[in-house]
Structure 1
Amino acid sequence: MNMTNNKKLIPEKAVKSFLKQIQGDRVNLHGFLMMLEDEVIYEGYWEPFHAESMHRMYSVGKSFTSIAIGLLEEEGKLKLTDTICPYFEDKLPKEGVHPWIKETTIRDMLCMTTAHHTTTYKRFPEDDWVKSFFHVEPTHKPGTIFSYDTSSTHVLSALVERLTGMELLDYLRVKFLDRIGFSKDAKILKDPMGVSQGGSGLICTLRDLSLVANVCLHMGEYRGEQLLPREYLMEATKKQVDTVLQPYLDEQFGYGYQIWKTRHNGFCFYGMGGQLAVCFPEHNFVFATTADTQGSPNGLKNIYDAFYQQVYPYLEGVTLDDSEETLSDIINHLRVPIASSIFEPYIEGKKIMAQSYRMQPNQMGLEELTVTIDGEVGHFDYKMKQKSHRLTFHLKEAYHQNFPDTQFECMCSGVWLTEDVLYIKTNIIEEYFASMNMLLVFREDTVTICMKKAAETILQDYEGFATGTRTYGGQA
């Protein structure tokens, strides 16, 4: 590999440190590539993998499916506000489709805000993956809360193939992949019915992935030619929905149209096992990897850590000098994180609120809830399995109390993420260390809530989704 001027920005010592950290963390990386200002500056592969190796990209394919949807929108063959059911009348239940499925839009599916809490074809007795999306019982109102659902992408892949009469990858080849030199041997696996697995079946080279990511980095422009719809990609690569309940840091920056947001205002094509194409438009930089980290719980985190610690600072021109704060100052100000210290508060978050809701049947047994806020203090009153409880939270600090139905002290805080999305964070801090986080989305006369708990033997009911209809109140 020849030395270029771009390598002066990211020196070889940075990449050597990156590779040393990857090795030290025992990450099963198969390949890496770094592209700066449209030029590959570093690239490497672990034998037996090489530059021409066709590699399963898993959910990276979701971003390709999204691109195809954007192209069809540009052609006028669909609108993102279209509901999905009319396109698949042959797949709907004979007894009638559930109202939440009926109101699901293409945009909901792109944003992973469908009515399902997880992928449907893994819970359906038939081989028809597309049909499963319309038949499996939904759990909550669509268009509200992020929940990773590969079946929604699969239905979008089927939609592309219905509207074009072509296989998904063939359509993308005609529209732009052939133009940028995408591998002829690349393919997408099929489901049992012959539909392209747009959500998880893409197989291509690392260079192919980097080429597509770089086109998206430039909002669809390639060598002076606009190959992909700019306006669509601008929306696809910005945060459309909050993902704060995701378990890993690098999944908590939001989600666009089948594309993840990342640190430093970047975006990412992201597939299981360490398939990544992380794009930083402000630096005209792409970092891509192939790997198999499925057997390592920290494998993906280790890839990100090595990159952000050893390489990214050079993009920012940051020197890793010591802080001006003294160690004593830092130690004296250590605090367990609260909601508003983790996520930036929405500046116009509600200070006065009183709203009550009756919940539809749900897995948690949550029957009713009321949210009241007066200044910086809020109350989450709820009835679960015929018992009434209260959690009090504070918008700027931690409120200490016993967790309902226990004798365990907890600290509870909240933050408005947008004008209609409230995040409540609860940590039990004695004997049974545990956490329970909630996301509430208020839309018109409904609320949709997602609870996620991390606990050994307690809080068993605090996990799941529910939607309710307002019975009282509004914003004062």
Structure 2
Amino acid sequence: MTLNRRIFLHQLGLGVAGLGLIGSLPTTLRAAPLRSFRLPRSLPEAQGVSSAGLLDFVNAVEAAKLNLHSLMVVRHGQVVAEGWWAPYAPDLKHTLYSLSKSFTSSAIGLAVAEKRLTVEDKVVSFFPNEVPATVSANLAAMRVKDLLTMATGHDKDSTGALRSDPDQNWVKAFLAQPVEHEPGTFFVYNSGATYMLSAIIQKVTGQPLLAYLKPRLFDPLGIEGADWETDPKGIATGGWGLRVRTEDIAKFGQLYLKKGIWNGKRILPEAWIEDATKFQIQSKGGSRPKEENDWLQGYGYQFWRCRNGAYRGDGAFGQYCIVMPEKDTVIAITSETSDMQGILDQVWKHILPGIQPEAIAAKPVVPLKQKLAALALPLPAGQATSPTVARVTGKPYQMADNSLNIKRVSLAFQNGSCVCTLHDDQGEHRVVCGLGNWKEGETDLSTVPLKLVPTSVPKETKTKLAGSGAWSDENTFTMTWRFIETAHYENVTCRFDGDDLRLEFQKSLAVLSNTKDPRPVLEGKLMGTVSQGK
């Protein structure tokens, strides 16, 4: 992950925090995927791809603990490998983080084709009522193209300033930022710039970004159920916040691979594809020399250039749409990793060498099919039960005053699962965890830390979740709550000692960075015969 991206996420205050609102999770809520169009399937060798190389890739990313959530490899338009690490699954959307930027760029390409704007248009021309009293020469010179290429002239990412604007007017806040460099000459990764592309789309079309893209891009590709986070005024965040399925990422990459043609119909102009994916400006990032660094290969219109003649859209924690024109191949990946370069390294090491010009005569490697069918993220380590269960099951614990406003906690073990019930100032909230498996449901946990902006996805009040728990020792029960349409999870540890309960939270980002979770450890006392419902 690049330094700028780390700064961006720090500014967003990202973390799975604020456990004040936990919802009821009694049943599996997974709906059947909407498949108005599925990519065709084929065996790897039939499309000239080595099953052994694919298997080596999967084994390598697992050995390196790169925490992939999904993988789809497309060759000659055919899916030759696909897999989801349970509890992630084909029908679940996944937050794309900055891979969203490539979709926003596509919207600009469509609007340019419709002659609603040009990349040479000045940014201030779209927002005459939001410009500062004094417009600097650099701000006046900033073009749509400079937003696209992350060359706005800002010295740092503007996202933090947008999110902290007291008037919640992100457009005005962006235009108020100092522009220290001549636009077009200085690259800095700037998600605020992509937000402005979204704002421009809404300005010139009268439609939010998602509504504009739906009939022009999503419907033709059969991408259904997509949603996008918005700013407080309802403008799509643009630079992050889109959620689609893994196969939708692959379809998007296939559209670009075919230079804007989908099922014989032109969706995007070929000239736009060329401009969007070629070297436009020297990028920054990573810690390796250029020949080993996929962040120093150059930047296009919200696409990164890669080594090996490839390009990609990518998002924080390893959301990838990798397009390899020379190999007629697309790779879609979702994950939660702190080593984004590590995932790309394994693609170049294992998948790329196995892509051959013609079909491969060898039979597919049987273990690949078996491996892909059995992918799973690790469950909490330990036993399904403990002698402590009989003493604590269903009994409420009164928690000492805490900043999370959690008043009472109880754990009820029954029918191969654990129901964790939390009472706070908003009422009762339940999370169901499987014992030795995942139980799926929903949570009404506040979306702010998961979705980054206060308004989040419009009208969404619940987040899908899968839970599992185990006894790591006789008196310690640990739950993992995976927010399965995001990249993240958290561990919740309950330690019983006589009549005392200690409850500790650890978000996955703290795990990745080996840092302490900022939330307090909660202390509780057994309430004896006090009714749980009171």
Please state which band the TM-score falls in when normalised by the shorter chain.
0.5 to 0.7
Q: What residue in structure 1 maps to residue 214 of structure 2?
A: 173
Letter in 2 for 1:78: L
Superposed CA deviations along residues 299-338 of structure 1, whole A, max 9, x for unmatched, are 21221121111110122679xxxxxxxxxxxxxxxxxxxx
Q: What residue in structure 1 maps to residue 464 of structure 2?
A: none
Q: What residue in structure 1 maps to residue 54 of structure 2?
A: 15
- Choose the corresponding residue for 2:228, options 188, 193, 202: 188
Aligned-residue offset at 1:8: 5.6
Alpha-carbon contact 1:259-1:269 (below 8 Å) kept: yes
Matched, 1:32 2:76: no
Distance 1:239 1:146, change over 3 A: same
The unaligned stretches of length 5 or more in structure 1 are: 319-476
- Choose the corresponding residue for 1:67, options 106, 115, 128: 106
- Choose the corresponding residue for 2:245, options 183, 205, 217: 205
Distance 1:7 1:130, change over 3 A: farther
Q: Provide the C-alpha distance between the structure 1 equivalents of 2:157 and 2:284, rounded to a whole number of angstroms.
A: 20
Q: Provide the C-alpha distance between the structure 1 equivalents of 2:232 and 2:184, rounded to a whole number of angstroms.
A: 29
Superposed CA deviations along residues 271-293 of structure 1, whole A, max 9, x for unmatched, are 11100010011111001100111
Distance 1:8 1:105, change over 3 A: closer
Q: What residue in structure 2 maps to residue 254 of structure 1?
A: 298
Secondary structure, aligned partner of 1:264 = coil
Alpha-carbon contact 2:198-2:236 (below 8 Å) kept: yes
Aligned-residue offset at 1:4: 2.7
Q: What residue in structure 2 maps to residue 114 of structure 1?
A: 152
Alpha-carbon contact 1:117-1:149 (below 8 Å) kept: no
Alpha-carbon contact 1:117-1:148 (below 8 Å) kept: no
Matched, 1:101 2:142: no
Q: Provide the C-alpha distance between the structure 2 equivalents of 1:208 and 1:44, rounded to a whole number of angstroms.
A: 14
Q: What residue in structure 2 maps to residue 440 of structure 1?
A: none
Q: What residue in structure 2 maps to residue 232 of structure 1?
A: 272
Superposed CA deviations along residues 110-133 of structure 1, whole A, max 9, x for unmatched, are 011011122223035332222221
Alpha-carbon contact 2:50-2:355 (below 8 Å) kept: no
Superposed CA deviations along residues 12-53 of structure 1, whole A, max 9, x for unmatched, are 211111111111101111001100011111000011100111
TM-score relative to the length of structure 1: 0.63
Aligned-residue offset at 1:192: 1.6
Q: Provide the C-alpha distance between the structure 2 equivalents of 1:63 and 1:286, rounded to a whole number of angstroms.
A: 15
Secondary structure, aligned partner of 2:217 = helix
Letter in 1 for 2:208: E
Aligned-residue offset at 1:11: 2.2
Q: Provide the C-alpha distance between the structure 1 equivalents of 2:275 and 2:41, rounded to a whole number of angstroms.
A: 37
Q: What residue in structure 1 maps to residue 203 of structure 2?
A: 162
Alpha-carbon contact 1:130-1:151 (below 8 Å) kept: no
Distance 1:163 1:307, change over 3 A: same
Q: Provide the C-alpha distance between the structure 2 equivalents of 1:228 and 1:317, rounded to a whole number of angstroms.
A: 27
Alpha-carbon contact 2:41-2:78 (below 8 Å) kept: no
Aligned-residue offset at 1:247: 3.7
Q: What residue in structure 1 maps to residue 258 of structure 2?
A: 218
Superposed CA deviations along residues 332-380 of structure 1, whole A, max 9, x for unmatched, are xxxxxxxxxxxxxxxxxxxxxxxxxxxxxxxxxxxxxxxxxxxxxxxxx
Secondary structure, aligned partner of 1:42 = strand
Letter in 2 for 1:79: T
Letter in 2 for 1:254: G
Matches within 5 A, 1:21-420: 21-93=60-132, 95-123=133-161, 124-126=164-166, 127-183=168-224, 185-243=225-283, 246-247=286-287, 249-293=293-337, 296=338, 299-315=339-355
Q: Provide the C-alpha distance between the structure 2 equivalents of 1:2 and 1:169, rounded to a whole number of angstroms.
A: 29
Q: Provide the C-alpha distance between the structure 2 equivalents of 1:125 and 1:162, rounded to a whole number of angstroms.
A: 20
Letter in 1 for 2:204: L
The unaligned stretches of length 5 or more in structure 2 are: 1-39, 359-534
Aligned-residue offset at 1:199: 0.6
Secondary structure, aligned partner of 2:96 = strand
Q: Provide the C-alpha distance between the structure 2 equivalents of 1:285 and 1:182, rounded to a whole number of angstroms.
A: 20
Letter in 2 for 1:190: T
Distance 1:91 1:32, change over 3 A: same
RMSD of aligned residue pairs (Cα, Å): 1.8
Distance 1:199 1:2, change over 3 A: closer
Q: How many residues align?
A: 312
Aligned-residue offset at 1:220: 0.4
Letter in 2 for 1:313: P
Alpha-carbon contact 1:32-1:43 (below 8 Å) kept: yes
Distance 1:5 1:116, change over 3 A: closer
Distance 1:7 1:21, change over 3 A: farther
Alpha-carbon contact 2:102-2:302 (below 8 Å) kept: yes
Secondary structure, aligned partner of 1:203 = strand
Q: Provide the C-alpha distance between the structure 2 equivalents of 1:8 and 1:66, rounded to a whole number of angstroms.
A: 31
4+ residue segments displaced more than 4 Å: 5-8
Higher relative contact order, structure no. (Cα contacts within 8 Å, ≥ 6 residues apart) = 2
Q: Which structure shows the higher strand fraction? A: 1
Secondary structure, aligned partner of 1:65 = helix
Q: What residue in structure 2 maps to residue 453 of structure 1?
A: none
Alpha-carbon contact 2:99-2:320 (below 8 Å) kept: yes
Superposed CA deviations along residues 147-189 of structure 1, whole A, max 9, x for unmatched, are 1111111011011011111121121111121011112x11011
Alpha-carbon contact 1:6-1:36 (below 8 Å) kept: no
Distance 1:54 1:5, change over 3 A: closer
Secondary structure, aligned partner of 1:148 = coil
Distance 1:2 1:150, change over 3 A: closer
Secondary structure, aligned partner of 1:269 = strand
Secondary structure, aligned partner of 2:249 = helix
Q: Provide the C-alpha distance between the structure 1 equivalents of 2:123 and 2:45, rounded to a whole number of angstroms.
A: 46
Letter in 2 for 1:210: A
Q: What residue in structure 2 maps to residue 431 of structure 1?
A: none
Q: Provide the C-alpha distance between the structure 2 equivalents of 1:301 and 1:245, rounded to a whole number of angstroms.
A: 11
Q: Provide the C-alpha distance between the structure 2 equivalents of 1:208 and 1:276, rounded to a whole number of angstroms.
A: 12
Q: Provide the C-alpha distance between the structure 2 equivalents of 1:53 and 1:146, rounded to a whole number of angstroms.
A: 35
Aligned-residue offset at 1:246: 4.9
Alpha-carbon contact 1:168-1:196 (below 8 Å) kept: yes
